[in-house]
Every structure is written in structure tokens, then in C-alpha cells.
Structure 1
Amino acid sequence: MARLRHATKSAGCSHSSNDLPFLPLHVLFGYLMHSIAYHLAKKQDNFQLLRIIAALMVIYGHSFALAQDIGTKDIFLRFAWPMYSGDIAVAMFFVISGFMVSGSYIGRANLTEFMLARLLRIVPAMLVVLLVCTCVGVVFTTLDARAYFASSDTWRYLVQNLRFSSDMVWTLPGVFQGHRLQPVNGSLWTLPAEMRMYLLVAAMGVLGLLRGWRLGTLAVLLLIIAGILHPRLLPLHTDWLRLAAYFCVGILAQLHKERIEIRHDVMFVLVFLTYISYNTDSFIWLFGATVSYFCFWFAYRTPYIDLGKFGDPSYGIYLWGWPLQQAMISWFPSMTPTPNFLLGAAAAVMMGSLSWHAIERPALSLKGRIGRWLARLQARRGVTAAGVDKA
């Protein structure tokens, strides 16, 4: 009882102005267990900071592939890890996305609102990046301007990539010729996978699989097993299976948020088990579990840093990193990985912030307006249908 009284006081059930607001009993016990549900109730997390770090990790990892090869390696490859920083970052992106996107559907329980929110979040910023790269590509192409804009491949880059297909177009005519890698934006490969994960959550929501943890867990586990044993049964490119697995882990965390504890000792044990399992068959599984758990540990158990007032530049940083790094290599062909990373990261942060304030936030503000318009349209259709029935 003494522990309960102490926890009650710490949870804000005293009248001190510095304490947290009063929490219901089920949330209080969530506090004792450090459950995800309790931390969600506090509405304070470091997910945004983690996404920014992950986006910068992607730029860091790409610098070794794009800039002049001087024999240096990504720090994870340097220590003989089987993946580089970009792989780890993308895994974290998909765990966080699975958790938040499934929570978004559960909170709305409306397919139209959910898909509208998802499209407004991912498409406008991507469209702008594709448009800018297509137009600015004329500066970096070996073709003359007329030939560049007259080429069907120039516009195919824009149109095909907006289809979110696995058959993406990576290059623009004559652009970045002579570079170690020619793709204009190699980071885009994850976005079609992300879009399919949105459709997965929508399908689960429509079928009622997100209403309770039992059915939802069963469905997700069956998908994971199918991906392991019979991957061709799933409508996913083989390169996306790993991303889908991490996304599914995020969904499971959402479904079991009242049961999953985020604790320092568990984080330590997972890191230790992953370390000693290196070069064994269990390493990749333990690594996946550790990265997934780390996302929530970092978000909920590290000191909270409020970045909300600055907006969320993480998506823009991810989108702009690669093309900015490529542009710098065009201007400074002898550039090595470290300056390419530092300058590319600084430029991507600026472009990511601009993208958030000028494109992403205004696009997201349209959700309510478009939603109301769709509701009125649906209501009119209902009235029209009723009139036809009466006639």
C-alpha cells in the first residue's frame, strides 16, 4: 500500500501544481508497469526526435555509397554488422509507422477519414520533391534543355513514381552521369511499401480486426508467418517483406499497449542477447526485437524533448537527403563521405523544415475541410437516393 500511495502521489494525484493531472486507476497501474498505454496518456514522447535521428542516419549511410570512395565505411559495417545505418533507420521508421498508423485508424474508425489523412501526409511532399527534381534536373543533365524536357523518360520519372509501384523509375535522362550511383532519389523505394502498409491497416480496420487485440494479433501473426513460409502469397515485393514485418510489430505494440512494459532492464537484456548472438541464426530475430523495443524505450524512457513547436521535418529530411547529396557531388566531385553527410544533412534539415511549414502542414490542415465536403456530398447522395426510392 505504501508503494501504491507513493505511486499515486508521483502520478499526480496530489494537488501540487507541478504534478501530472489526476490519472484513472487503470492508467495508474499502467504507470506502475511503465506500459505503453500510460505513456500514451501522458502525451509526451520522443518519437519525433527519433524520426529525425533516423532520417539523418539514412543520409549518413548514403554518404558512403554516393561520395568518393576513400576506403571508409559506415560505422555499423566497420564493426562487421550485417546491416548499415540506413537499414536500421528504415526499420525504426516502419515500427513507429505501424504503431501510429494503426492507432490513427483505431482513433477514427472511419475509412474515408483515415485514407484521406494518410494521402495528405505522404503524397504532397513527395509530389513536390519529384517535381523539383524533374525540373532542376536540367541543371545537372548532360543533355541540352530542349532534349531533356522533350524526352519521355523525363516525365515518366514523375508520373510512374507517383503510382507508388514497385516498378519505380530511378534516373532522369543524363542527370548525375559519372556519379558512383545515378539514381536521382534512391530513398523513394520505401514509399510504395509504406502506402501498402496503409492499405493493410485500412483492410484490417474495415474487417473489424483492430477492434480487439485477440483477432488483430491473430491476423498479424498469420501475415508474418505467411511472409516467412510463403512470401509469394503476399502482394508485396520481396524487398518490402522486412519492412512489412517491422510495421506489423508496430501494429502489435498498438494492440497490446496496455500489456507491454517499457523498462530499462528489458532494454539492456535485449541489447546483451543481441550482442552475444552475433554470427548465430538467432541474431537477426533478436536484432529485430531489440530495434523494435528500442523505438519505444527511446520515445518513452528518455528525457522528453519538446520539438513540436518547430514542426516535424523528419519526412522532408528523408525525402530531400539523397538528391541534395547527389547535387553536392556534382558541384564537388572529390567530396568524401564525411563532408557529404554533414553538408547534406544540414541542407536536408533546412529543406525538411521548409517542406513541413510550406507543404506538409498546410496539406494536413485540409483534412477537416475535405472531410466536411465529402460528408456533405455523401449526405446529398443519400437524400437523392431516398427521393428515388419514394418515386
Structure 2
Amino acid sequence: MPGKHIMKSIGEILDENDGVGRGFDFLRIGLALAVVAIHSVQVCYGPEAPGLVARGMVGPFLASVLPMFFGLSGFLVMGSSFRTRNVATFLTFRALRLIPALAVEVTLSALILGTVLTTLPLAEYFSDIRLLAYFGNIIGRVRFELPGVFDDLPASGMVNANLWTLHAELFCYFLMTAAMLTRVAYNRVAVTAVWGAMAIFMTGYGVYSHAFELHGGAFKSSVLVFSFVSGVVAYHWRHSIPASNWIALISVPLAFGLLKLPYTAFAVHLPIIYLTLWIGSKPLLSLGGDYSYGVYLYSYPIQQTLVSLSPSLREWWVIFPLATIMSVLIASLSWTYIERPALQLKRLIVRRQPKSQRVSPVLAPGGSDLDGLSKPL
């Protein structure tokens, strides 16, 4: 009928914007700041505090943060896989996004923050095997501690506790690589079947063992991997997913209820992934770059440093705004001088490929990496 409104799909909206989700940058920085808020509670009151907070009404909102991050990562990384169609290029692009900024942050924490704040003599600090082990974070060997640093704080000894999700992130890339090598990644039916099998197994086993329920206000790594796969499936079906305000509105109480009721938390992925893509399709405010990764990397050591300065600062509502301001400022420097220059190397890699194999590494407004990356938090 003339004048009848035709609802667009998520895929159509992305296509109209050259494949760019105009709300993705806003969503990522919002999720990153939500993690800063969660960690503000942890660094002030101890590792068990976020779990206590999660028992209240705010719990479902906090629990949805990491699944949204990993779901968004799966969606965007699947897009990168489609564009590259080459495992070596795909892995190189992922490494360019993750490693440079991570290497700088780990080095600064070990050689500057650690030397200033350690309670050990410097000779003992530099000879401690934990210092060398800390650099393993750069290649995925996650270590949270530096010798003599933050030992007397509520979150004792934790310099980069946020890196706990890095293993799940790397495992997701391993799965994506295997799917590309076997060509399963490009078969919508096969990908959906794998997702369905995972859902059936994890739901059944989870009900039997409680293995996949919330733990301390957050899901386990295995559930985050499923969030990633859910995002991969959503990418395949993006042109069939309507961008409906009504569905988004219904998804909020649905997700809330599923997270609050026993045995149903795992089923929350459908409404959460939908909300993630719906927000990402909206023309929302952008900071001019993707600062979320820098916020993720630097916020926790900043928070721990603030808490170490004075007992009077050990309130989450004091730490959160201070850490947010400092993290965003440092993240902007990281984006400008480390992350974005590293991502620009993609163009050099593409130019070196034969024309028949070339892909177009897309940068969103402000330069954020549409090829995708979750921020393991």
C-alpha cells in the first residue's frame, strides 16, 4: 500500500551505511564504562562485592555486559571473515587490533607503575620471576600480579584483573580460524546448526550441573564463547532480523526476567544479541574513535592506583568518575598514537595481496575498526 512503512532489517541499515553500524562505537564505550563501574565496586570492597551487588535489581544489567561485548565481537569478526576469506590475513588483522595496545599497556604497568608502587626493593622487583611472567599477557599467558604491587588492597595483588576474559577471546578466534579453514564459516546452515547444537548441549548440561549459571554476577568463559557464536550466527541472518523498536522494547524485560529466574540465565542470549544489534544500528553519538579497548586496558590499573593512594578514596562512587575520566583520556592517546596507526597497516597488507585476493579493510566514522574485536573485560 502507498505510504505504508516498511520495516528495515539490521542488514539493510548496515548496507545503507557502507557496512558501518553507526551505534557500535557508542555501544562499545558504554559497555566499557559499565565494566569500569563493576570493577569500581571490586577494587573498593573486594572480589566478592560485585557478586553481592548482582543479587539486587541491577544484577541482570551488569550480567548482560560481557555477553553483549562478545556477541558484538562475533558479529563483527564474522564480517571480517567474509571480507578477508583468508586465514592469514584474518589473523594478522586480529593481531594488529589486539597486540600493539596490549603490549604498550603491559610494558607501562611492569616498568613504570610497578617500579613506582612496589613495596619490594627494586633489585628484588626486577629479579622476581613474576615480572617476566607478567609480559606473557602480551601473547595470552594471562598473569594478574606484579611483585609487591597492590598486595594490601581489597583486590589484593591484582594489576590487570580485567584480562581474565582474554582466554575466551583467543579461543573464539581459534574457533573462527577453524571455521574458516573448513569453510563452515561461510555456510549459514552449518553455522546455525553448530549454534543450535551448542545451545541444546549447554542448556541441558547447565540445568543438570548449574555449570553455566551466573557466578559472582558474571557468566563463565564458556558462556561468553557461546555469546560470540551467537553473534556469528546473527551476522549470517542480519538481513532477516528486523530493526524493530517494539522487539527491542520487549527484549529488555525478557532479558531481565531470564537473568533473574533460576536455570534460564543461559537463554538470555537471544534478547541480548538482538538489543546489541538494534543499538548498533542507531545513529548514536561517537567520540571520533574506538576508545573502548583503551578504557578496557587501562581502567583497572588506574582504579587500583587510585585506591592505593588513600583509604578515603575507597568508595565506588568516588573511584568510578575519577577512573572514567582518566581512562578515557589515556584511551584517546592510545587510539591516536598506537591503535589507529596499527590498524592503518591493514591497507599496506591489502596492497601487497594479489588483486584477486584483495579486501577492503573498512574503518567506521572516526576510524573505529569495523572488522571487529571484542574487548575482553
Shorter chain as normaliser: what TM range?
0.7 to 0.9
Q: Is the 8 A contact 2:295 2:328 kept in 1?
A: yes
Q: Is the 8 A contact 1:46 1:305 kept in 2?
A: yes
Say yes or no: does 1:175 pair with 2:156. Answer: no
Say yes or no: does 1:79 pair with 2:53. Answer: no
Say yes or no: does 1:253 pair with 2:234. Answer: yes
**Matched AA of 1:53:** G
> How far apart in 1 are the matches of 2:173 and 2:205?
22
Q: Find the partner of 1:241 among 222, 235, 240.
A: 222
> How far apart in 2 are the matches of 1:72 and 1:218?
39
Secondary structure in 2 aligned to 1:162?
helix
1:171 Cα shift?
0.6
Greater relative contact order structure (CA < 8 Å, 6+ sep): 2
**Matched AA of 1:175:** V
Say yes or no: does 1:315 pair with 2:296. Answer: no
> How far apart in 2 are the matches of 1:354 and 1:214?
43
Structure of greater Rg: 1
After superposition, residues 192-341 of structure 1 pair within 5 angstroms as: 192-228=167-203, 239-275=220-256, 279-281=260-262, 283-300=264-281, 302=282, 304-307=283-286, 310-335=288-313, 336-341=315-320
Q: How many percent of aligned residue pairs carry the same amino acid? A: 29
Q: Find the partner of 1:362 among 313, 319, 341.
A: 341
List per-residue Cα deviations over 1:204-253 (Å, max 9, x = no partner): 1221113231122112323444555679xxxxxx9310110111110111
**TM-score normalised according to structure 1 size:** 0.78
Query: Which stretch shifts more, 75-84 or 106-115?
Result: 75-84
Query: Which stretch shifts more, 59-68 or 93-102?
Result: 59-68
List per-residue Cα deviations over 1:53-80 (Å, max 9, x = no partner): 10000110111111257x9979963634
Query: Which stretch shifts more, 201-210 or 88-97?
Result: 201-210
After superposition, residues 122-137 of structure 1 pair within 5 angstroms as: 122-136=98-112, 137=114
List per-residue Cα deviations over 1:298-317 (Å, max 9, x = no partner): 122x4x13526x21111100
Secondary structure in 2 aligned to 1:177?
coil
After superposition, residues 51-200 of structure 1 pair within 5 angstroms as: 51-68=28-45, 77=54, 79-80=56-57, 85=62, 87-136=63-112, 137-159=114-136, 161-165=137-141, 168-181=142-155, 182-200=157-175
Residue matched to 2:210: none
List per-residue Cα deviations over 1:132-185 (Å, max 9, x = no partner): 1101201111011121112121111112x23314xx321110001210112101
Structure 2: state its 5+ residue gaps: 207-218, 356-377
**Matched AA of 2:149:** V
Q: Is the 8 A contact 1:68 1:333 kept in 2?
A: no
Secondary structure in 1 aligned to 2:33?
helix
Q: Is the 8 A contact 1:106 1:205 kept in 2?
A: no
> How far apart in 2 are the matches of 1:283 and 1:57?
23
> How far apart in 1 are the matches of 2:263 and 2:243?
23
Q: Is the 8 A contact 1:64 1:74 kept in 2?
A: no
Q: Is the 8 A contact 1:227 1:241 kept in 2?
A: no
> How far apart in 1 are the matches of 2:146 and 2:39?
19
Q: How many residues align?
A: 337
Change (3 A) 1:179 1:75: closer
List per-residue Cα deviations over 1:261-306 (Å, max 9, x = no partner): 1212112223333455565346414533322211112122x4x135
Q: Is the 8 A contact 1:61 1:74 kept in 2?
A: no
**TM-score normalised according to structure 2 size:** 0.81
List per-residue Cα deviations over 1:82-119 (Å, max 9, x = no partner): 5572x432221101000000111012211121111001
> How far apart in 1 are the matches of 2:270 and 2:222?
16
Secondary structure in 1 aligned to 2:243?
coil
Q: Is the 8 A contact 1:273 1:286 kept in 2?
A: no
> How far apart in 2 are the matches of 1:227 and 1:278?
16
CA-based RMSD:
2.8
